[in-house]
Structure 1
Amino acid sequence: MSVEAQDNQKIGVILGNVGSPEAPDTESVRVYLKQFLMDPFIIDLPWPLRAFLVYGIILPRRPAKSAEAYQKIWTDKGSPLIVYTEELVQGVQEKLGEGYAVKMAMGVGNPSIPDVMHELAGQGIQRIILAPLFPQYANATTGGVTHVARKIQKQIPGLQVDIWSAFYKEPDYVRLWTDLIKKHLADYKADALLMSYHGLPQKQVIKANPGCADCVGTDTCHRKYEDSNCYRAQCYATTELIKAEGGFQLPIHSSFQSRLGRAAWAKPYTDEVLPKLYEDGVRHLAIACPAFVTDCLETLEEVEMGLGGDWLAQEGTTFKMIPSLNAEEAWASLISRWVQDEALQA
């Protein structure tokens, strides 16, 4: 008998994701970027410097360019990230049943985490399981979501909130990604597989784990086998775990994408790794992005269209993009099992 059936009390479940603009136009993107970049968990500068950077440099220039990128991936149903997350919510709800109320919430944009938490509490729900859909821990993602949720929890007397952290090394999660990659490589003979992760400024990586200062700007990671809170090390560990689980007979590399501005970010950079792979004789390349469980601007436009297009512009090349987990039934099933396991905890 499940926990909710024993006490006749529904449990709220929130699947948390990054967020998306309301529409792929310049003004909507400006509103989104303003909220996103002014978050101190995203840009950890003192407020005056952060405001100068965002209002004085980024917002006057970037929204129009980003809107063009969003227009390339926008679907008839809307933002892919929102659409896939909604479908995932539906899948998890179906598997968990009426004893749970499953919702999605975004770190930036709508529906917001505060609004969804208040909505669930308004329905009489006294326990919420918050699942930030970020496999590797970073202050900019899971840290920020956790901060907001704990703040709202204090406003709602008697509300219990359980929050997931990093799950990159959970065996079932590793197996899920391994199976997905194998499925898409079954009819594609790749020379190499590149795991491209969202980057972080080196400063943020070192702040979270000072021991990473000597390798964050290199092409190696000496902490990938440790139980480390270093985001970069967790990314390298993800690659190693998938490699070990799958027994792949091809070279597998790790790199980092999506850097912004002139500051140094975690290396190696994906856009610099690709030319090196070509120089080394790779012609048939596959890319997966295991830091993203949902396809979004970074996977669809930046990697598949942008970097994939650059790769295909070279002589004799082919390219295969491995999609994210999105709303795959196996992913919905795994989340449902994790929720049920969490619900059994006091």
Structure 2
Amino acid sequence: MGKKGILLVNLGTPDSPEVADVRKYLDQFLMDERVIDINAFSRTLLVKGIIVPFRSPKTSKLYKEIWDENGSPLLYYSRIQTALLQEKLGDDFQVELAMRYQNPSILSALEKMKAGLVESIQVIPMFPQYASASTGSVMQKVMEIVSTWQTIPPVNFINSFHDNELVIETFAENARKYKPETFDHILFSFHGLPERQLLKCDHTGAYCLKKDNCCETLNDTNKFCYSAQGHDTARLIAEKLNIAKGDYTVCFQSRLGKEPWVQPYTTDVLKKLAGEGKKRLLVFSPAFVADCLETLYEITVEYHEEFKALGGEHVQLVESLNDDPKFIQALAEMAIA
């Protein structure tokens, strides 16, 4: 029998922090119809005419702040995760890494699997919470490519792992060394999404953003909602650490543009907590399985400086899952699910 193929797919990273490579990355990323889900003509004008030309030099500077001798932290940790998973699973499996945008591409990883004569493919989008713009985009791209093959092996997808016990325990263990009880407040800061994308996930049309606290508890209506799954992740980590509900806040970062995104915004929460006299904040970012620009710079640098300017003292990031053995075990269990 042939090997089982395991495809790990993360979002992506520029090939270098230089403006030209950042421009290529942002162009591919933001032209995805699931990321900026407006008509193609308007998306092209917005992305190619406004966002990419003006944002690329600024984003390049940010990437240069986190780029080190290992290159992109996201790619560095993703490669380690892939190697450790291959080692754990053994020779009966072929584990490949891909990025939804830029390199290594999904196409190149799937071609390696085809050449390896795998008998099946298990795709693990590396996003704990499902979103159309991340997990959904990976699923669509994989299906587009595989659909052109003359022989299509069984293909399966992991939809989300927001409540995976090993993932929850890894985040909790990473936090314990900072002694959460010594902080004034805990934040669970997730990557943001436009509200319209949440509304599209509500097939009833009568629940999302229409019911009070619609995201706070998972149910049949919101089970695929990114925000609801995020709230569930936060609840589970808080319970593991015995953090009372009133001592933590779920919020959303990385807003782009002026239209409404999922709220509350992390920047607004920082202002509120500073106004209440809070001085020390512990921040989780459980939408990411590897530290990257959004954690290493946006939280560690930008939010720390912003909070200090508001009168606070310290914002402490809880590291991501990275190369933790428990996360590799979680991936192994998903690989054979």
Q: Which secondary structure does the structure 1 equivalent of 2:129 belong to?
A: coil
For residue 246 of structure 1, what is the amino acid of its counterpart?
Answer: L
Q: Are 2:217 and 1:224 aligned?
A: yes
**CA distances 1:79-121 after superposition (whole Å, capped 9, x unpaired):** 0000000011111111111111111100100111121111111
- Is the CA contact (8 Å cut-off) linking 2:27 and 2:47 kept in structure 1? yes
Aligned residues: 330
Q: Which secondary structure does the structure 1 equivalent of 2:111 belong to?
A: helix
- Is the CA contact (8 Å cut-off) linking 2:215 and 2:231 kept in structure 1? no
Residue of structure 2 equivalent to 1:327: 323
Q: Are 2:251 and 1:258 aligned?
A: no
Cα drift, residue 155 of structure 1: 1.9
TM-score (ref. length: structure 2): 0.93
Residue of structure 2 equivalent to 1:4: none
Cα drift, residue 180 of structure 1: 2.1
For residue 190 of structure 2, what is the amino acid of its counterpart?
Answer: Y
CA distance in 1, matches of 2:186, 2:312: 17
Cα drift, residue 214 of structure 1: 2.4
Residue of structure 2 equivalent to 1:233: 228
- Please give the residue correspondences for 1:140-289 in structure 2 after superposition, counting only pairs within 5 Å: 140-156=133-149, 157-185=151-179, 189-209=182-202, 210=205, 211-214=207-210, 220-227=213-220, 228-248=223-243, 251-289=247-285
Structure 1 residues 138 and 316, CA, compared in 2 at 3 Å: closer, same or farther?
A: closer
Q: Identity percentage over the alignment? A: 34
Paired residue for 1:304, among 300, 303, 311?
A: 300
Cα drift, residue 32 of structure 1: 0.5
- Is the CA contact (8 Å cut-off) linking 1:221 and 1:236 kept in structure 2? no
- Please give the residue correspondences for 1:63-142 in structure 2 after superposition, counting only pairs within 5 Å: 63-142=56-135
CA distance in 2, matches of 1:235, 1:77: 30
TM-score (ref. length: structure 1): 0.91
CA distance in 2, matches of 1:222, 1:67: 35
CA distance in 2, matches of 1:155, 1:184: 50
CA distance in 2, matches of 1:25, 1:179: 36
CA distance in 2, matches of 1:74, 1:224: 38
- Is the CA contact (8 Å cut-off) linking 1:126 and 1:158 kept in structure 2? no
Cα drift, residue 319 of structure 1: 2.5
CA distance in 2, matches of 1:334, 1:183: 22
For residue 207 of structure 1, what is the amino acid of its counterpart?
Answer: K
Structure 2 gaps of 5+ residues are none
Paired residue for 1:47, among 36, 40, 54?
A: 40
Cα drift, residue 21 of structure 1: 0.4
Structure 1 residues 191 and 49, CA, compared in 2 at 3 Å: closer, same or farther?
A: same
CA distance in 2, matches of 1:124, 1:144: 25
Structure 1 residues 190 and 51, CA, compared in 2 at 3 Å: closer, same or farther?
A: same
CA distance in 1, matches of 2:36, 2:315: 34
Let me know the Cα RMSD of the aligned residues: 1.7
Paired residue for 1:26, among 14, 19, 40?
A: 19
Cα drift, residue 277 of structure 1: 0.7
For residue 285 of structure 2, what is the amino acid of its counterpart?
Answer: C
CA distance in 2, matches of 1:190, 1:322: 12
- Is the CA contact (8 Å cut-off) linking 1:153 and 1:160 kept in structure 2? no
**CA distances 1:138-184 after superposition (whole Å, capped 9, x unpaired):** 00000000001111221221322111011102233222222222233
Structure 1 gaps of 5+ residues are 1-6
Q: Which secondary structure does the structure 2 equivalent of 1:59 belong to?
A: helix
Paired residue for 1:15, among 8, 11, 16?
A: 8
For residue 173 of structure 2, what is the amino acid of its counterpart?
Answer: D
Q: Which secondary structure does the structure 1 equivalent of 2:281 belong to?
A: strand
For residue 267 of structure 2, what is the amino acid of its counterpart?
Answer: D
For residue 293 of structure 1, what is the amino acid of its counterpart?
Answer: V
Q: Which secondary structure does the structure 2 equivalent of 1:12 belong to?
A: strand
Q: Which secondary structure does the structure 2 equivalent of 1:22 belong to?
A: coil
CA distance in 1, matches of 2:309, 2:25: 33
Deviates more, 1:199-208 or 1:236-245: 236-245
Deviates more, 1:15-24 or 1:119-128: 119-128
